[in-house]
Amino acid sequence: MSDVANKYPNYSPGLEGVIAGISTISEIDSDRSSLQYRGYDVHDLAEKGSYEECAYLLIKGKLPTEAELKEFNEVLIAEREIPDYVYDILKALPKNAHPMDLVRTAYSALAPSDPDYKSEPTDHEANVRKAIRIVAKASTIVGNGHRIRNGLSPLKPKAEHSIAQNFLYLFSGEEPKAKTVEVMDASLCLYAEHGFNASTFANRVTVATLSDLYSGVVTGIGTLRGPLHGGANEEAMHMILEIGSPDKAQAWIDDAIENKKKIMGFGHREYKKGDSRAFYMSKVAKELGEEQGNTTFTEIANILEKTMAERKNIFPNVDFPSAYAYYLLDIPIDLYTPLFVVARLAGYTAHAIEQLDNNRLIRPKVIYEGAHNLEYVSIENR
């Protein structure tokens, strides 16, 4: 036991192992490395369903019928546009702003334009409507946000596009290929929800003060950004590019382990035997590489994965294969974490609704280790 554990047996740094709520939204089975959304295996949803179906399931609590999904899609399409004032705010941001700054700012700015802005925080139906509007706008914000950052005008979303297609069309200005849409849609399903991860929990803490869903989402996006969480997919790709070629990978990883470097896209608080979403994305990324006659990334990944498993017993998380899958799809690296946002908004809003349906302020305790009972000395005598 560490000194801290000895001194404070009830304290768990990083809240590791602490149960902070009851939820029916998703279940992580660490032993089986599996993930289910409301009882459905995430791989079935990713392979046989669509991101829209996942979003419906997470927000509304059940899989939609054909008619319900059609109606849901119609609402998503109708709510996809972004008001001009939000684009003006994004255009006014400094040029060095990261796309995550744009998406966080956009949701902050969008809040007052929501028709349910003044609804009671615990109004379930109003929260569901807000959740759908929030999910609907994400791919437009990220796709057109990319255009704005690159000095291009925002494009009008097309009504026939899915959320995955909408993002791919807007950011590139071109009709996406079917395979690209398929991979993007599957990755959005896999990223849509993941229990009490840092950003979802932060989002719940925010709404639990009886704040609103937009504030929760802004908190979530800010929390997701860090490289220990959602930012890991971008960092993982920079790392793979730094390694450069399979013949350099072994020396690179040996040196990194020797120097106790964090290997981005590896490790997980919940999955100690491997992240099942990573197995699926590795398969997809491998297929993409083979189709393109480019196995460089898979070869680098194999060396890193084998060495990390043998020497550290640490396995890749979903961010590692997603990074090079996105790269093979020609997605700019700085959009990887914003894409995580596009997906995870379904999870954030589902959790916000669940929190507000049965709310209790989230307020843990802290151990105070500072000074006590000091005598106040007036400023001129210090």
Nearer to ligand COA, 12 or 153 (CB): 12
Single out the residue of 61, 69, 269, 359 in contact with ligand COA (rule: CB under 6 A): 269
Site for ligand COA in 182-241 (CB under 6 A): 228-229, 232
Single out the residue of 99, 143, 145, 267 in contact with ligand COA (rule: CB under 6 A): 267
Query: Does residue 337 interact with ligand COA by CB under 6 A?
Result: no
Query: Does residue 339 interact with ligand COA by CB under 6 A?
Result: no
Nearer to ligand COA, 213 or 318 (CB): 318
116 is catalytic: no
- Residue 358 has a CB neighbour count (10 Å cut-off) of 9
Of 217, 185, 212, 191, the closest CA to residue 202 belongs to 217
Query: Does residue 319 interact with ligand COA by CB under 6 A?
Result: yes
- Of the listed pieces 42-50, 62-70, 208-216, 311-319, which binds ligand COA according to CB under 6 A? 311-319
> Of 268, 334, 357, 372, which one is the catalytic site residue?
268
Site for ligand COA in 14-33 (CB under 6 A): 14
Nearer to ligand COA, 65 or 313 (CB): 313
Calpha distance 372→193 (Å, rounded): 43
Instruction: Please give the distance of CA 203 from its chain centroid, rounded to a whole number.
Output: 12
Nearer to ligand COA, 140 or 317 (CB): 317
The closest residue (CB) to ligand COA is: 267
Query: Does residue 266 interact with ligand COA by CB under 6 A?
Result: yes
319 is catalytic: yes
Using CB under 6 A, count the residues that bind ligand COA: 16
Nearer to ligand COA, 32 or 262 (CB): 262
Query: Does residue 268 interact with ligand COA by CB under 6 A?
Result: yes
**Catalytic positions, written as ranges:** 268, 319
Contact residues toward ligand COA (CB under 6 A) are: 14, 228-229, 232, 262-269, 312, 314, 317, 319
